Amino acid sequence: MDETHLTQLGRVATPAATPEQSRLERVPNPQAGQLFVARFTVPEFTSLCPVTAQPDFAHLVIDYAPGDWLIESKSLKLYLSAFRNHGAFHEDCTVAIGRRIVETAEPKWLRIGGYWYPRGGIPIDVFWQSGPVPEGLWLPDQGVATYRGRG
């Protein structure tokens, strides 16, 4: 990835047809020597059920401790939008997003929480992280309550 050639920031850009075709971009981290957490909250993520083609909805929370790179947020928005017509199970979508960000930005650490809204009466929450939490990293709660139904 050549971070000096951003293709979407400051330009008209549309989502790719598939997540695989989407260009996730990175920019240099001006605080590369510091240990900190950056959070992306995506309350309206959508994909398609690979069996029924019905829409699935999730609230994603992505926390990462950047190294030398930051994820460029417009490219992340466009990448996530490419899932709108993508058929995949909740687990696959959540883990694939986390792995793609790790591949692109090479963070010190990343976790993603996929809080999926119920379909068929069963909510599915999916969590993935790239490894152990770095020592000394302040890690806030993701702030999303587990699904309680009509409780």
Which tens digit of pLDDT belongs to each residue from 38-88?
999 999 999 999 999 999 999 999 999 999 999 999 999 999 999 999 999
Structural domain of 95: 26-129
The domain that contains 45 carries what CATH number?
Answer: 3.30.1130.10
Q: Indicate whether 138 pLDDT > 70.
A: yes
**Residue 148 belongs to a domain:** no
* Cα(74)–Cα(8) distance, integer angstroms: 7
Residue 48 lies in a domain: yes
Question: Regarding beta strands 109-116 and 125-129, do their DSSP bridges make them parallel or antiparallel, or are they unpaired?
Answer: antiparallel
In a domain, 7, yes or no: no
* Residue 56 annotated in active site: yes
Does 150 reside within a domain?
Answer: no
pLDDT on residue 4: 57
Tens of pLDDT, residue by residue over 36-49, are 999 999 999 999 99
**Domain annotation covers residue 6:** no
Residue from 49, 68, 92, 125 carrying the catalytic annotation = 49
In this structure, is residue 75 part of a structural domain?
A: yes
Q: Which residue has the higher pLDDT, 16 or 147?
A: 16
pTM here? 0.91
As for how many domains the chain has, the answer is 1
Is residue 93 part of the annotated active site? The answer reads: no
> Contact 46/93 with Cβ under 8 angstroms?
no
Q: Is 136 a domain residue?
A: no
Tens-place pLDDT, residues 86-130: 999 999 999 999 999 999 999 999 999 999 999 888 889 999 999
Catalytic residue among 2, 56, 63, 125: 56
- Report if residue 139 sits inside a domain: no
